[in-house]
Structure 1
């Protein structure tokens, strides 16, 4: 999917916010109008965030269905249906949706992930009626022509070949997901396994569409130069006539608490060997105590929250890795991971790099982080919150995720206070509880010029 806006890199945001000119801060503050939400009788949820700095509007329709909802044998179906949503209704023939958007000077696209399928348009503000009419029309009026489905399925299969099968890094990540997530449905790739794609039919897509695509399973988000009253009137006009349809229950995504240490070695064509490490962790949605999730969020920042973070200091600056990054999604739908990916420096083996990384990670179990480290992570969180409000796309994305998890739409404002309650002692406690070998998965990606070792990989306690 192409990006509508350019994100500000994490490292840049924290350094810039400290010297942000007052007029920019005032601009951001003036845009911080609280979002308003309401529901239609047919179950559609609507969230409106007014932002009058520019005469533009962004719409997003979030359907609460993604690849984690797909049963065995039907992987990739959500993504294929996303493609078909641009392929015609009784009112808007094939090819006309994006043509109408472009003719009005707008842009449109969509994406599918594990848990959601999201469709968005960006327009001048006075084109909002067009955007909403088009979205309402395809919400329950898709044609799903068999010939169009066959053609689009070939497009998706070619997309898989180009982005995954012919990309060693992407293929390794796909295998890593399957290795590290044993019981979670998120272990399957969003684009689907090729053998499943080869067997999908238009009847599969039609049943999936009828099962999940309805107002009661959707959230419409409108951000930009609009008013709540204006949006409400248009939503009532275009979406209220759609019927109320019952939607299946979605279960919370859970992973085994202690699945056991796992490792996998791959040798694929390519020039760059890589290391993939993951610890199975709860998110805010699945943690027994929300403080655990907030502490894990800060722990992740201590490891990789800028140029002074531990992985940069202990691994990159010591010439053990040429590049490293990590991530933890506190707002995942259920259980998630702390992931670390790294490329070894010249002459460094993957097994040695793994030991260096795990030594840095496990140090969090033995000693409390310093007050200075924690202060830097907190500053980073605050900076990201500021810039997350500056772009319409970023703000809409965050509103969609918060709504899907049932969190307050003001969660970003409340986050600093919640994180402030987390102490260095709390971070050490969650490190001791969750950063354990029985939660650890490792994938070693070798190239033909760096053969896999013949000896088993040792376990760092």
Structure 2
């Protein structure tokens, strides 16, 4: 649909499809819910509005298309550190004042950083939307802080790394696994950053990252809840529309070279149990066009669900039950999409008396069994029915709707990607699942990580989290 706006706005003409129910779902959506609408301000900032009038609340999110993958070696973690610093004041707000104001409005707020995205959000009574839009726009363009404030917050981030990664043996294993799996891709670096990079980080590093990437054309405002799209657009123009336009920096491709042979990580750390993590390079879903890579990405997601998508699925039934079980727990997952390369993972905890090597072999054997014998139509229908139910239940969360729309924008996908995805997943056949199981799980595509447990220190005291963290 094309919409005509006032002459001072530059329209982004976009076709929108009503969020139609997935196959098997009751037709029609609740009358209080409407299709999302997308606009673009003259300075390049995207505005997306999703009305949902079932409760007098609203979610306001600012998504910046920048994350850990946009960092360079030597400054890993700067995207996440900068996310913390956006709570440290502007020309008109003091450090911490943003959060205090949102709380006084009866709302809640936080932020997050991933490999692909930095996001900031507030959930507030709908009639206080203008207040948070003013605050968020102010810190987007006027973020500033003293060097001493940066140094204090950097210590908070370091403690976050210690508590969430360095004190977590599996977290450390996955960090090492990513570093070995990827060579050219920036996904090899941890989002929180290497400790040596955090030790060396300066206020100038964060300020430069902020100036480089926090530009209107690299950001989107997503508002969902009890709101009127035209009113939201007027507020966005008032508070965000005056931000000067600047070009988005060029992003150079960093393609991952073809892997030739198994890669292995043997990682030792104090732990109660060993752990096995197998990562296989697989294609990502880049669009909904019918290409071999996109078709395979969808079939791999169905394969993951057949293996581990419900209670009593194949991995649990075959590996964790009975007197000869080889695992205390198992998982399978497929990285369907993202700005960088994706992985299919098989993980598990060996049962007492079983070795990590036995579990590794058992996990791979279950995939090979599907490659040899295929899957049943009953299995396919079971996972598809569960997905369809999930599409209905997710509409209960306004926050979830906003985050989902924001993710689609970051990936350059249409706003109705949830329904397009469900339609495509429902078309995946048993033969496609068998085919991807046969083609993507060879030795040359695998990086295997094993956690070898060391004795725990009986005198070690639990770490006390540092004050000031955002998450």
1: CA distance, partners of 2:254 / 2:401: 25
2:367 counterpart SS class: helix
1:208 counterpart SS class: helix
Deviates more, 1:118-127 or 1:182-191: 182-191
| 1:293 counterpart residue number | 297
Structure 1 residues 296, 254: closer, same or farther in 2, change over 3 A?
farther
2: CA distance, partners of 1:431 / 1:90: 56
Q: Deviations over 1:267-292 (max 9, x none)?
A: 21121211111111111028753211
Q: How does 1:29-428 map to 2 (within 5 A)?
A: 29-251=30-252, 254-285=255-286, 289-318=293-322, 319-428=325-434
2:265 counterpart SS class: strand
TM (normalized to structure 1)? 0.89
Structure 1 residues 289, 357: closer, same or farther in 2, change over 3 A?
closer
2: CA distance, partners of 1:352 / 1:314: 13
| Structure 1 gap segments, 5+ residues each | 1-16, 451-461
Q: Deviations over 1:337-381 (max 9, x none)?
A: 011221111221111111111100122221221101111111122
Structure 1 residues 379, 251: closer, same or farther in 2, change over 3 A?
farther
2: CA distance, partners of 1:217 / 1:88: 22
1: CA distance, partners of 2:272 / 2:29: 44
1: CA distance, partners of 2:216 / 2:406: 15
2: CA distance, partners of 1:328 / 1:440: 14
1: CA distance, partners of 2:250 / 2:428: 34
User: Retained in 2: the 8 A contact 1:87–1:144?
Assistant: yes
| 1:4 counterpart residue number | none
User: Retained in 2: the 8 A contact 1:278–1:337?
Assistant: yes
1:326 counterpart SS class: strand
| Structure 2 gap segments, 5+ residues each | 1-21, 457-471
Structure 1 residues 256, 386: closer, same or farther in 2, change over 3 A?
farther
| 1:458 counterpart residue number | none
Shift of 1:251: 4.6
Alpha carbon RMSD of aligned pairs, Å? 2.2
2:396 counterpart SS class: coil
Shift of 1:334: 3.0
1:155 counterpart SS class: helix
2: CA distance, partners of 1:281 / 1:376: 24
Structure 1 residues 401, 313: closer, same or farther in 2, change over 3 A?
same
2: CA distance, partners of 1:317 / 1:383: 28
Shift of 1:31: 4.6
How many residue pairs get matched? 430
Deviates more, 1:278-287 or 1:189-198: 278-287
User: Retained in 1: the 8 A contact 2:140–2:214?
Assistant: yes
1:443 correspondence with 2:449: yes
Structure 1 residues 314, 183: closer, same or farther in 2, change over 3 A?
farther
Runs (4 or more) in structure 1 with deviation over 4 Å come to 25-28
2: CA distance, partners of 1:329 / 1:400: 18
Structure 1 residues 125, 191: closer, same or farther in 2, change over 3 A?
same
Q: Deviations over 1:398-442 (max 9, x none)?
A: 111111222111121222321233211112222222121100111
1: CA distance, partners of 2:387 / 2:337: 14
Shift of 1:249: 2.7
Shift of 1:26: 9.7
1: CA distance, partners of 2:301 / 2:199: 40
Structure 1 residues 77, 40: closer, same or farther in 2, change over 3 A?
same
1:268 counterpart SS class: strand
Shift of 1:94: 1.3
